[in-house]
């Protein structure tokens, strides 16, 4: 089983999807990581403010932090190999790293108009 490990910068909670102003990138990432789990990928996520030991215990992450500091976060590892540093990837990138076919949430549901968008034109949906 492929393992994706995320090392997040300090956040108020494990996903960063909390508080009065939620960063849309973080809520999208949370949904994408849940989707990967449903595809059979083992996903582990560490938050620097809540689990600092995980950052120190991982030699790769410790080295990155020593060289670049917290600006390197988030860091994404797939089976221990660094895939990304300093930004949050989209679903397509995540899927490519772990070898699954990417589907956007709109593709799965057919977007706001459903699967038969042409039939629903004029319905006020789109």
Mean pLDDT of all residues belonging to the chain: 83
Q: For residue range 93-105, what is the model confidence (pLDDT) as tens digits?
A: 999 999 999 876 5
Q: Which fold has domain 3-120?
A: Glutaredoxin (3.40.30)
Q: Hey, CA dihedral for 1, 104, 31, 38, is it positive or negative?
A: negative
- pLDDT of 125 > 60? The answer is no
- The full set of domain ranges for the chain reads 3-120
pLDDT value at residue 56: 96
Tokens of 31: 């949904």
Place of tokens 């300093």: 86
d(CA 42, CA 10): 22
Q: For residue range 27-72, what is the model confidence (pLDDT) as tens digits?
A: 899 999 999 999 999 999 999 999 999 999 999 999 999 999 999 9
Q: How many percent of the chain have pLDDT more than 70?
A: 73
- pLDDT of 89 > 60? The answer is yes
Q: Which helix (H) or strand (E) holds 91?
A: helix 91-98
pLDDT value at residue 33: 96
- pLDDT of 109 > 50? The answer is no
Name the band, by pLDDT with cuts 50, 70 and 90, for residue 107: very low
CB count in 10 Å sphere of residue 93: 15
CB 36 within 8 A of CB 4: yes
Q: How many percent of the chain have pLDDT more than 90?
A: 65
Cis peptide before 65 (omega within 30 of 0): no
């Amino acid at each position: 089983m492929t393992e994706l490990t995320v090392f997040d910068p300090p956040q108020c909670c494990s996903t960063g999807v909390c508080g009065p102003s939620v960063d849309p990138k973080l809520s999208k990432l949370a949904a994408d990581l849940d989707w990967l789990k449903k595809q059979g990928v083992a996903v582990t996520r560490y938050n620097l403010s809540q689990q600092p030991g995980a950052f120190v215990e991982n030699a790769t992450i410790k080295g990155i932090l020593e060289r670049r500091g917290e600006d390197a976060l988030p860091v994404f590892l797939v089976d221990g190999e660094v895939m990304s540093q300093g930004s949050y990837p989209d679903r397509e990138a995540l899927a490519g790293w772990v070898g699954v076919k990417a589907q956007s949430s709109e593709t799965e549901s057919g977007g706001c108009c459903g699967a038969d968008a042409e039939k629903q034109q004029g319905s006020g949906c789109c």
